[in-house]
Chains A and B, each alone.
Chain A
């Protein structure tokens, strides 16, 4: 009985995986943060390749872009002696510095909750609080999502993926100006009746370039030299200003 059931499942599952496949294109292979960087937009487009006629079921495409994970401490203020002070802190071991979810229809229509739990697609699934002794640690995780959503670091873009003839898809994800460096992961999920049938991942490196890169490296790897350079510039500017205005005064 069990074996028959399993083989039946396999028969259903196997063709489903081979039947449809995601082919992806990106408008940029990497994002360079230079001096005039003011956010960037990535066009994510692709097609669904089929070797056989289109299977039954409601199709859905979900595109996520995730920035590098960083630990975050979420603080909550309370009133103490009349002023508002950070009292409780919850450390969130890893939360993406950027996260965008775009879908071809309402997320609840294209993704089952169980599949979301398995693949960790929606924003609440990505930010999970870990090991805390604070009672309502869930509200801290929610606060993190709320604050980052407010500054466009977390974006929920329902129905933002345009799907043409169930084959071609395309969406745009706007990266904000305050980007963290690192490898961003673009993941595309293809769903049928809310079940993920194919995924495709591609990393998009985001890095500082040119002067930004040089200064950042210098500040971290050669801090003494960097500090002295800052002072030298300050002294030169101070001397320069007094010299130039001294000339005017004569």
Chain B
């Protein structure tokens, strides 16, 4: 069944979108990530204009992270105070990101920027995760134990300290604030929630306990992506509500199924699968940039 998207101005198969939403939903449920970093490139592949894909995906992430945060609030695994600090940074970052996005759009470089961001971040995160989970599997085979992490690093010596009770931390607000800004910029440029960057940053940089990380990250992502959606909707008019609805119907159902599958798998296996997937998407995008394209020319909207 073909559906004409009013903002993207293309006709696409509704079931294809439902299916894409579903598959990405399953994956995001399995791995506890928003799935935006997979969905946005997939939308590029099926011919949705990049500007519309990025803006609409931000809207869809609001839905999936809201659904997720409700579950975490019930289990009391959301650090609201930490979330608020991250959020303040996030809003500033998102506003800055949209400005950068619009500037590069007028220069015809937005596709490049979005794709470069994807290649770099997916490559780095995927690579690190792959190595880390391989080591974890090896370790669990050898000793069955886990190496202990260093408790104190330079981050704990910064000023403006604050108590984060739920996380059991007493640290400076500067690092979470900066993490928030960076994730906000990414959210605006890449159309992702930034969970796949925020989660490792919270664990390894801020030293937060793993059990509150996902909930807190989701809490912050709701507001940053909602803000991004509003910015894109009011400055670029690129949020396609029909596209968003189709994606999120598939997405929310898929996420619930994915959660069930995830429960029955080992954490290391899950992580290594996710890493391989991330690297695959990264590889495809990198090829597009590195190999000489068949068509050297491309069309942009005129009148800058």
Contacts and interface: CB of A to CB of B under 8 A. Distances in A.
A234 B62 contact: yes
Nearest to A225: B233
Contacts of A179: 9
Interface size on B, as a range, is 35 or more
B299 A74 contact: yes
Interface in B246-304: 248-249, 252-253, 255-256, 289-290, 292-293, 295-304
B292 to A, nearest CB: 7
B1 interface: yes
A89 B300 contact: yes
Interface string A220-231: 100110111111
Nearest to B256: A245
Contacts of B245: 233, 237
* Residue in B10, B60, B256, B301 whose Cβ sees the most chain A Cβ within 10 Å: B256
Interface in B51-74: 59-60, 62-68, 70-71
A91 B4 contact: no
B294 to A, nearest CB: 11
A234 B66 CA distance: 8
A89 to B, nearest CB: 5
B128 interface: no
Contacts of B303: 71, 91
B242 interface: yes
Contacts of A84: 289-290, 292-293, 296
A35 interface: yes
A223 B241 CA distance: 12
A147 to B, nearest CB: 6
B67 A241 contact: yes
Given A75-B298, A84-B289, A234-B63, A224 B230 contact: yes
Interface in A212-250: 212, 215-216, 219-220, 223-224, 226-231, 233-235, 237-242, 245
B58 to A, nearest CB: 9
A132 interface: no
A218 B248 CA distance: 21
B201 interface: no
Contact of B62 (A72, A77, A216, A231): A231
B252 A241 contact: yes
Interface size on A, as a range, is 35 or more
Interface stretch (A5-13, A36-44, A107-115): A36-44
A71 B239 contact: no
B7 interface: yes
Interface string A67-79: 0001111111111
B293 A219 contact: no
* Residue in B233, B292, B293, B303 whose Cβ sees the most chain A Cβ within 10 Å: B233
B174 interface: no
A178 B11 contact: yes
Interface string A156-196: 00000000000000000000011110000000000000000
A33 interface: yes
Contacts, number: 185
A43 to B, nearest CB: 21
Interface string B212-250: 000000000000001001100110010101101100110
Interface in A128-168: 140, 143-144, 146-148
Contacts of B229: 227, 230-231, 234
B292 A212 contact: no
Nearest to B69: A238
A220 B70 contact: no
Contacts of A91: 302-303
B2 interface: yes
Given A85-B112, A238-B65, A227 B239 contact: yes
B70 A223 contact: no
Nearest to A208: B6
A233 B63 CA distance: 8
Given A73-B300, A230-B241, A36 B4 contact: yes
Contact of A177 (B4, B7, B242): B4
16 contacts: A35-B3, A72-B299, A77-B293, A77-B296, A85-B109, A177-B10, A179-B9, A211-B6, A227-B239, A230-B59, A238-B62, A238-B66, A239-B67, A241-B253, A241-B256, A242-B67
Interface of A: 33-39, 70-79, 82-86, 89, 91-93, 140, 143-144, 146-148, 177-180, 208, 211-212, 215-216, 219-220, 223-224, 226-231, 233-235, 237-242, 245
